[in-house]
Amino acid sequence: MGLKWFKAAEEESEGEDARHLLGRGLPMPGRFQLLLELPPVPWDVQLQHSWSDRDCSPNMRVPGGLTARRLPVPDSTDCLRGRVGCHRGLHVWRVSWPVGQRGSHAAVGVGTSRARLQAPGYRTLLGGEDGESWAWGLVDNRLYHAGKALHSYPDVSVGPFPVPESVVVILDSDEGTLSFMVDGRYLGVAFQGLKDKTLYPMVSCVWGNCGISLTYINHLPGQPLTLTDLCRCHIRRILGEHRISEVDSLPLPQMLKNYIQES
């Protein structure tokens, strides 16, 4: 077994990646995969990175905790901004937004401290007004920036892409990219050119009484991964969650087996 089995598993995994099927997601960057394997930040850090109760539309309420709600006011589009901006490193957070509470112009993304927070009427305000924000429209699957509706995301030609309740947002401030993940599927880079900007988690909504939660997951500092980390990440990706226990069958020292299996 041993190395022969491991090589067979690697060839199987590479065949999966080569197909690049959206149903399985695109190949995940190593730094992002490593971050997801780390324990989530403590509750107090999540609260520190939650929605701002001051830096938001007057029609939004942040009563405490991680969930904000929009007042049931007509003819208004309203935005929320997170409390903490990201300038360096890799940052990942989750936006939980019930599908039935999105309405016609729900959008998730990032923006600067100058991004507009409220506008009359119903529109995609985040990304759809100026160059201060970048957004993914959850209803029409379009990307928005600088007042323009850009191409569809993810880039598929099979019709609408149903976005589930939970959306994972990945901001790599060092590479200057914004990506998304849903249902464990990495969808690829949505925006580039975001280096040297301080960006905040943001959403844009129109649905009265909608509840939108922001959960900060973790971050990695802006430095290259060690070779040890890269190897561990690669082995865990090849095995997958359902075969991680089979590390014990590999011809490796027990210390390495323990390191690979660490959560």
**How much is the pLDDT for 31?**
84
pLDDT tier at 51 (50, 70, 90 boundaries)? Answer: very high
The domain locations on the chain are 2-21+226-261, 39-220
For strands 90-96 and 67-70, give the pairing: unpaired
Whose tokens are 């995969």? That residue is 33
Is the pLDDT at 11 greater than 60, yes or no? no
CATH 1.20.200.10 assigned to 39-220: no
pLDDT in tens, 91-147: 999 999 999 999 999 999 999 999 999 999 999 999 998 899 999 999 999 999 999
- Residue 107 and residue 212: Cα distance in Å, rounded? 11
Is the pLDDT at 1 greater than 70, yes or no? no
pLDDT in tens, 193-239: 999 999 999 999 999 999 999 999 999 986 665 667 667 766 776 77
Residue in 227, 241, 245, 225 with CA at minimum distance from that of residue 35: 225
Whose tokens are 């990307």? That residue is 143
pLDDT tier at 10 (50, 70, 90 boundaries)? Answer: very low
Q: Cβ(1)–Cβ(7) under 8 Å? A: no
**How much is the pLDDT for 260?**
75
Residue in 180, 111, 173, 177 with CA at minimum distance from that of residue 141: 180
pLDDT tier at 258 (50, 70, 90 boundaries)? Answer: confident
φ and ψ of 158, to 5 deg: -110, 20
